[in-house]
Structure 1
Amino acid sequence: MNRIFAIGDIHGGLKALKQVLERAKITPNDQLIFLGDYVDGWSDSAKVISYLIELSKQNSCIFIRGNHDDLLHQWLQTHETKEKWLAHGGQSSIDAYRNLPQETIEQHLSFFNEMVNYYIDDENRLFLHAGFSNLHGPEYEYDPYMLYWDRTLWETALCLDKSIPKDDFRYPKRLSLFDEIFIGHTPVTRINKENPVRAANVWNVDTGAAFKGKLSMLEVSSKEVFQSDPVWKLYPNEKGRN
């Protein structure tokens, strides 16, 4: 296996996904770890899922569950809508799924069912969508939804005094459990950044593709970054989640 990539939140931006994979010159030897939020935003949410299903037949892929993926999954199962979800990209996904054949929807349901909440590799690197609150690690989280909704892990990493060493009693125990942690969920554009950001040992790879930002891929060993164009420029007639 050549390279391992952590891939940020896509939010229905299939054009951006294809573009960034091409720019990274992905081969079947590369492992792709998707950090969640494949849907809700741009108009291609359903097409993103179909594309990922096909991609996984050629590449080693790990699909981590995001909060928006969970919301869409619930809607596909129950067709019960939540107003806040509709206002934050859900309507675009409903529109994308409106005329799909049932066979395709069943394939997508299987895809959602098979997503994982987190992944820990052989080098003690943790990959998940959002964060966790349990001091013993994500596997001990009382409610799994924290793994794709929590923002306190990222907030803690951002606030940490850089002079505090990892073996100091003041260093957050959650962070010390892993050599590195890779997340999405909270766009770094909120802190006026355009590239993946490291805070303590946490790498945030969500560069705001749902809004005015780009879609990013981070090679986890070299930290080389590949990015799409700003996604809104690839969908000039849409609003996304803006």
Structure 2
Amino acid sequence: MKQVVIGDIHGGFKALKQLMERANFSGQTQYIFVGDYVDGWSESSEVVSYLIDFSEKNDCIFLRGNHDELLFKYLKFGESNPVWASQGGESSIKSYVNLSENELEIHLQFFENLKNYYIDSENRLFLHAGFTNQNGPQYEYFPNLIYWDRTLWEMVCAMDTSISKESDKYPKRLKHFNEIYIGHTPVTRLGLDVPANFANVWNTDTGAAFQGKLSMLNVDSKEIWQSDPVYTLYPNEKGRN
């Protein structure tokens, strides 16, 4: 089975549809979405509706992103804060205004059923952000770190590339998995526009919430598919600041 990872979408429904059309897979494929489906562009509810329908016909793994959790808490409990609203939350609030009670309930179930992490049969780890526990995300004392942590990505970006995985200097938390796939921190901050690899970590967030593209990566072949820069698909919007 082909296995692909899709980066942070952030309400960019047009980019998601474009990406799927360009990949145009036939045959068995497992789609692993690393989270942050919402908050940014104006079509967050449309993204979630599409993913729910898509999963009825395809093998999908949906991971939890920090923005997904923030929107869920707003929709379920009315929790909100100015920082979240200014970082894409306001666009999601507007996108959800016209959903029926039944549609909203289906979406809430989607958010509730998101996974914090996924480990496949090849011992590859998939999660939104990172983890701090040296024994792996399964042992994280504060589970929400899994969709908020940036230290894992910062660590591998700064690592000495000459250190082998067999060395005692190689970070212990990386040794537990053959590969690790994340999103959360846009690689555009490093001046890159495609999924980036440091040590055994692959980051698939190519800045779709800002000036970047939405990306899909084949886990085995490392082939990449991308949408147009998402802001060009929403010329009258600002996305996330």
Q: How does the TM-score come out when normalised to structure 2?
A: 0.99
Q: CA deviation at 1:97?
A: 0.5
Aligned pairs for 1:1-242 (under 5 A) are 1=1, 3-27=2-26, 29-242=28-241
Per-residue Cα deviation, 1:170-220 (whole angstroms, up to 9, x for no partner): 100011110000000000000000000000000000000000000000000
> Which residue identity is paired with 1:227?
Q
Please list the CA deviations of residues 68-113 of structure 1 after superposition, one character each: whole Å capped at 9, or x if unmatched: 0000000011112111100100000000001211110000000011
User: 2:91 aligns to what SS in structure 1?
Assistant: helix
Alignment partner of 1:175: what SS? helix
| Alpha-carbon contact 1:28-1:59 (below 8 Å) kept | no
Inter-partner Cα distance in structure 1 for 2:30 and 2:21: 15
Q: Any stretches of 5+ residues in structure 2 without a counterpart?
A: none
Residue 34 of structure 2 aligns with an amino acid whose one-letter code is: L
Name the SS for the 1:90 alignment partner: helix
Name the aligned partner's letter for residue 107 of structure 2.
H
- Unpaired segments ≥5 residues, structure 1: none
Please give the alpha-carbon distance, in whole angstroms, between the structure 1 residues aligned to 2:101 and 2:196.
40
Q: 1:20 to 1:92 in 2, by over 3 A?
A: same
> What amino acid is the match of 1:178?
F
Q: Which runs of structure 1 show a deviation greater than 6 angstroms over 4 or more consecutive aligned residues?
A: none
Aligned residue identity for 1:39 = V
* Contact 1:130–1:184 (Cα < 8 Å) also in 2: yes
Cα shift at 1:222: 0.1
Aligned counterparts of 2:155 and 2:47: Cα–Cα separation in 1: 32
Q: What is the alpha-carbon distance in structure 2 between the residues aligned to residue 148 and residue 81 of structure 1?
A: 18
CA distance in 2, matches of 1:28, 1:11: 28
TM-score by length of structure 1 reads: 0.98
Cα offset, 1:26, TM superposition:
2.5
Identity %: 61
Partner Cα separation in structure 2 for residue 206 and residue 224 of structure 1: 15
Question: Offset at 1:167?
Answer: 0.8
- 2:197 match: secondary structure: strand
Separation of aligned partners in 1, 2:144 and 2:82 = 19
The separation in 2 between residues aligned to 1:68 and 1:92, in whole angstroms, is 12
Question: Distance between the aligned counterparts of 2:88 and 2:230, measured in 1?
Answer: 15
Deviations 1:112-152 (A, max 9, x none): 11100000000000000000000010000001100000000
Please give the alpha-carbon distance, in whole angstroms, between the structure 1 residues aligned to 2:175 and 2:79: 40
Cα distance change, pair 57–28 in 1 and its aligned pair in 2 (3 A): farther
